[in-house]
């Protein structure tokens, strides 16, 4: 863990329950101080909860989630839901009075890198996020997205996602959170109320 946190890396995914779950769409952000978590690589074609638990037990790793409710989110694209929730979730981390990692590690963030699961992200959505977070005084804001299922050279869907670890872990975490009762979600210490 660095003595001072200069760059934060975020990975986002959603529970993919829009329109089918009474609780709403759960959007998860996992974040890290480690560059290694942002490197794109191949991952197994399975959700390995043990890898998530091991990762969360290391200092410099954490997560937050929110719930998008209401008719307006049921029929929106994943890209729209993720970019809207990102403002709330990243802001909650950047504005915490004490570092989410350690009281001894000051947050002096100059750069954030935000990685989303899925396609369909428009340039204006990414630009909106960059502009929004640059208003926090950040010198650099990177926004990118990764389609976890890609075709290989033969045109067949390649098994196993190719994305940063953070996107893979957000995918793993979004599903068990989606199984929790609504009351438990709303009282969860990592829950951040969505602000539109």
Q: What is the pLDDT of residues 77-99, one digit of tens each?
A: 788 889 989 999 999 998 886 66
The yes-or-no verdict on residue 160 having pLDDT over 70 is: no
At 130 the three-state DSSP class reads helix
Give me the pLDDT at residue 52, please: 86
Least trusted range by pLDDT, from 38-52, 136-150, 164-178:
38-52
Q: For residue 62, what pLDDT is reported?
A: 92
Query: pLDDT at residue 65 above 60?
Result: yes
Q: What is the pLDDT of residues 15-27, one digit of tens each?
A: 865 555 567 889 9
Q: What pLDDT, on the 0 to 100 scale, is given for residue 144?
A: 93
Examine the pLDDT at 42 and tell me if it is beyond 90: no
Average pLDDT over residues 59-83: 81
Taking domain 5-186, whether its CATH number is 3.30.420 is answered by yes
> Taking the alpha carbons of 184, 190, 195, 196 in that order, is the dihedral positive or negative?
negative
Nearest CA-CA partner of 67 in 131, 136, 32, 17: 17
- Confidence at residue 109, expressed as pLDDT on a 0 to 100 scale: 87
Q: What is the Cα 126 distance to its own chain's centre?
A: 14
How far does Cα 149 stand from its chain's mean position? 18
Report the relative pairing of strands 61-68 and 140-146 from DSSP bridges.
unpaired
d(CA 30, CA 12): 7
pTM higher than the cut 0.95: no
Which of 25-29, 45-49, 68-72 has the weakest average pLDDT?
Answer: 45-49
Rounded to an integer, the average pLDDT of 45-74 is 81
Burial bucket for residue 77 (CB in 10 Å: 0-12, 13-18, 19+): middle
- In the Cβ-directed half-sphere of 134, how many Cα atoms lie within 13 Å? 11
Ranking 74-83, 115-124, 170-179 by mean pLDDT, the lowest is 74-83
In whole numbers, what is the pLDDT of the chain averaged over residues?
Answer: 84
Sketch the domain layout of the chain as residue ranges. Answer: 5-186
């Amino acid at each position: 863990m660095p003595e001072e946190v200069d760059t934060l890396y975020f990975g986002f995914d959603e529970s993919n329950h829009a329109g089918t779950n009474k609780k709403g769409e759960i959007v998860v952000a996992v974040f890290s101080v480690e560059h290694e978590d942002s490197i794109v690589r191949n991952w197994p074609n399975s959700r390995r909860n043990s890898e998530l638990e091991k990762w969360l037990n290391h200092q410099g790793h954490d997560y937050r989630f929110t719930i998008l409710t209401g008719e307006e989110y049921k029929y929106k694209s994943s890209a729209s839901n993720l970019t809207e929730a990102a403002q709330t979730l990243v802001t909650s981390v950047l504005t915490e009075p004490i570092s989410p990692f350690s009281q001894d590690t000051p947050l002096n963030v100059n750069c954030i890198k935000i990685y989303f699961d899925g396609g369909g992200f428009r340039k204006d959505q990414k630009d909106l996020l960059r502009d929004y977070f640059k208003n926090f005084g950040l010198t650099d804001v990177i926004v990118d997205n990764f389609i976890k299922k890609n075709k290989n050279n033969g045109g067949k869907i390649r098994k196993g996602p190719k994305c940063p670890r953070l996107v893979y872990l957000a995918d793993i975490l979004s599903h068990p959170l989606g199984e929790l009762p609504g009351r438990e979600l709303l009282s969860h210490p990592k829950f951040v109320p969505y602000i539109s």
